[in-house]
Structure 1
Amino acid sequence: MTTYIPQLTLPEAIFNSLPASILLPIALGSAVGYSTRPKEGGTSRQYDSLRQPPLRPPPWVFGPVWTTLYGMMGYAAYRAVHFGTSPLNSASTIAAARHGATLYTIQLGLNYAWMPLFFGLGRPVLATVNILSLLGVNGYLAYLWGNYVDETAGWLLTPYIAWLGFATYLTVSIGHLNGWDLSHIAAFKGDKENKKRN
């Protein structure tokens, strides 16, 4: 089992508030996506400039999918931590809920790092390491919460894990098809910023 690390865990007040639990990942995910995308041309232009694998969805799919998944993971976190840390539960259930809260916070950080690594820096190898770590952490988190805290919370993470599996396929495939060099999409953003300065 993992360890509860308060310094690496969102405040319990967030987990105890249903609106905060759901809206926080959505708001942070939107902020990262907005700040990472180029100001002109949009992420879809960068995305379309890459050699793509089969089954790739159109760029407009990602926003609604991620908003839904962030909401579901936020609700799972609320259920697991809010109900799991109730004094009516056993010490082992409370410990598992708190350990999961630390894992949940870590996975949020990994999640929000993917887009800057892939699009902002054009580093598909680092993005692949990131998303594989994210997949592993969430698989374990679903197991931990689902088996020791709240079965519904574990199942709520299942669509997220499935999407992460698909996103891993896309990350690895795009990296491979483009020679593991996406510097031109990172440079695309820099070129736009340089033109604005001149």
Structure 2
Amino acid sequence: MTSFIPAITIPASVFANPAASILLPIALGTAVGYSCRPKETQKTYLALKQPPFRPPPEVFGPAWTLLYGLMGYSAYRAYSTGMNPFASAENHVLTKHGATLYSIQLGLNLIWMPLFFVAKRPIEATVDIVALTGVTGYLTYLWAQVDTVAGLALAPYLGWLGFATYLTVGVGHLNDWNLADKEIAVPPSTTGTKYVNEKDE
């Protein structure tokens, strides 16, 4: 069981407001994405040797926007249900512990892209995403006890994190855990994208 740590937990007023709860992760995720320079990130992504089933780069923006929105909705549902005056004392505890876990996982989520694409540190990025997946899995378990919908809203995010972990480990392994100088000069068109490890027909 984790603990409620106010100093590192998003304020209750954010969780209690549906718009703020949903928009916060979307806004932070978008800010981090743009701060990592999307065009440069795409160049790096296309230059890497990739494992099977990797999606084209244009999928990530819409996918993460949806997942961040579901994440924020889950937080709102769990908090509004668990902190209801009529909820049990156990639910109050689970909700507050979950709020700290939620804040931790959001931080872990936001540092992955700078670690992987800016610092080009695949080992550290892998450690980060494994920790993120574990924390989110436990958070899903806790908040599902408070509110079933809150748990279900986190399920797609948790599934995507599993897939993202596979991609992170796969890219790291295929590129010998070294992403330095992995960049192509001009990204190809998004239609019929070819990666560095693929040959033209």
Q: Which whole-Å CA distance do the structure 2 matches of 1:151 and 1:134 have between them? A: 21
Counterpart residue number, 2:34 = 34
Q: Which whole-Å CA distance do the structure 1 matches of 2:108 and 2:80 have between them? A: 23
Q: Say what the alpha-carbon RMSD is for the aligned residues.
A: 1.3
Counterpart residue number, 1:195 = none
Runs of 4+ aligned residues of structure 1 deviating over 6 Å after TM superposition are: none
Q: Is residue 37–residue 120 contact of structure 1 (8 Å, CA) maintained in 2? A: no
Matches within 5 A, 1:96-111: 96-111=94-109
Counterpart residue number, 2:192 = none
Counterpart residue number, 2:4 = 4
- Normalized per residue, the structure richer in helix is 1
Residues 64-99 of structure 1 deviation map (CA, whole Å, 9 limit, x = unaligned): 000000000000000001221111111110010000
Counterpart residue number, 1:87 = 85
Q: Is residue 79–residue 153 contact of structure 1 (8 Å, CA) maintained in 2? A: yes
The amino acid that maps onto 1:129 is V
Q: Which whole-Å CA distance do the structure 2 matches of 1:144 and 1:31 have between them? A: 29
Instruction: State the TM-score, normalizing by the size of structure 1.
Output: 0.90
**2:18 counterpart of 1:18:** yes
Matches within 5 A, 1:3-152: 3-37=3-37, 41-147=39-145, 149-152=146-149
Instruction: Determine helix, strand or coil for the equivalent of 1:10.
Output: coil
Deviation at 1:185, TM superposition (A): 4.1
Counterpart residue number, 2:153 = 156
Tell which has more relative contact order, 1 or 2 (C-alpha 8 A, sep 6+): 2
Deviation at 1:155, TM superposition (A): 1.0
Structure 2 counterpart of 1:182, from 176, 179, 189: 179
The amino acid that maps onto 1:4 is F
**CA separation of 1:185/1:121 partners in 2, compared to 1, >3 Å: closer, same or farther?**
farther
Instruction: Determine helix, strand or coil for the equivalent of 1:55.
Output: coil
Instruction: Determine helix, strand or coil for the equivalent of 1:122.
Output: coil
Q: Which whole-Å CA distance do the structure 1 matches of 2:131 and 2:169 have between them? A: 14
Q: Which whole-Å CA distance do the structure 1 matches of 2:25 and 2:173 have between them? A: 30
Q: Is residue 15–residue 77 contact of structure 1 (8 Å, CA) maintained in 2? A: yes
Instruction: State the TM-score, normalizing by the size of structure 2.
Output: 0.89
Gaps spanning 5+ residues in structure 1: where? 189-198
Identity %: 60
Instruction: Determine helix, strand or coil for the equivalent of 2:142.
Output: helix
